[in-house]
Structure 1
Amino acid sequence: MRFWYLFFAVSLLLPNCSNAVVKRHDIPAEKYLVENAPEFLIDMPHEGHGVLIASQWIVTAAHVIFYDYTGKSIKIAGESYTIESVTKHPDYIEPDESLFKGDAAPLMTFLASRSDIALIKLSSPVSGIAPVKIYQEDNEVGQIVTVFGRGATGNGLIGEDLSTKSLRKTHSFHNKIDGAKGNWLTYKFDSPPNSLPLEGMHGSGDSGGASVIFLDGEPYLAGLSSWQYWQGDLSKFKGGLYGATAYQVRLSVYKDWILGVLAS
């Protein structure tokens, strides 16, 4: 089990676990900094992020639940709240450690097949923060998303620098959704001149971070940072390079499951 967590913390960040984002090499890094992070972006107890979607509920990527968080304290806007319960999607399963050796294809197939989503219930409602609404349409392809995270930084030429994870500065970037199939939204980290002005890719430590579509200035949660596609030997994995494809948990697919858990 420890190898599983190490792989994600060191690689993708695969989804991602907690810090910033990987940026274009030709744009000043400070352009990606966020002065005031959205209050609905929550830091998980161990690593990674969650998103406040109701006064007493946080949605996150299931793989950032590293152990039993029940009864653990979580900080939201400077206040401490207690986690009452954690509900992982029934189609979320842990991988066998053998998948993290050799060719990446079996691991990629495994990651694509599962539901990497969990809901956290707080023992008391959060006050003073507006939860973000979930994007419920199925027309994500072609939409521009704004992605938030506090994980490892870097740029598309050299990839992510894992030593930057400890900085924990909030960054955001833009990308265009080019795939919406089943449980996943995907986008590609294009190199200039074919990239958006502030195009980027999630880094190690960004798992569970919010991918937001803005409609008339209002944010809607479309995805959660989850994993990054890789071909070849896993020992040579380097996250955040130009050409890489990111996978995001597709919230519109899970809206009925989310509403069911909240209602129960």
Structure 2
Amino acid sequence: MSETLGFKTYAPAYLSPQASGKNLLIGANFASAASGYDENAAILNHAIPLSQQLSYFKEYQGKLAKVAGSQKAASIIKDALYVLSAGSSDFVQNYYVNPWINKVYTPDQYGSFLVGSFTSFVKDLYKLGGRRLGVTSLPPLGCLPAARTLFGFHENGCVSRINSDAQAFNKKINSAVANLQKQLPGLKIAVFDIYKPLYDLVQSPSKFGFVEANRGCCGTGTVETTSLLCNQKSPGTCSNATQYVFWDSVHPSQAANQVLADSLIIQGISLIT
């Protein structure tokens, strides 16, 4: 998305050595692979929970003020574009495979729990000065290679019931966003729909220049994720990732992400201008 917006450099990962000095003026990346709205799931996946990411953001604000001055730092924080992408790992790497959760909560109940966490996060970010936020919807979870491997596929090569869960969650997120806009003066927030564009990629890959949409490039492409068993040297990893819709069993490839980013920018133009 940064490239699509025209940025020549990426915001550095906050915990990296690059996130210091004047580099802080271009922002920071607080994301953690396999994190999500469920704090416990993030811990189980050895990821940095959202609450800790928010703590790092507070820390970042202090460092930014030292570099730019308090007034300039406050302006940067207010005018910055924040992007929140979470939820997939909560379901695919936690809810569906964790009997301690899926025996207690229905998918709808778990989705409501996650949306509650999302709402709290947005309010906390707002208190810290954030005013422009784009949040991604859930993708068609039932079309992810991991879901196909675990549950088999049905309608149009996807797990229909899991796609239904994702659609139900997305309705909840949209409703929560509408309520937040009413509650928080000056907040500009939009849901970036990645469900439809990714579903279209999976159903008609050749239309977008892709060859493989059923499995990922990394390893076998059926179970590996970037947080588990997946890297460039994993046995079986493809040599032509640009032809794959998915990099691993959960995450889209860089080429697919570019297609998604183009769609997201169009959807969220009101946040950017």
Same fold (TM over 0.5): no
The structure whose RCO (Cα within 8 Å, separation 6+) is larger is 1
- Taking structure 2 as the reference length, the TM-score comes to 0.27
Per residue, is there more helix in 1 or in 2?
2
Larger radius of gyration: 2
Per residue, is there more strand in 1 or in 2?
1
- Taking structure 1 as the reference length, the TM-score comes to 0.27
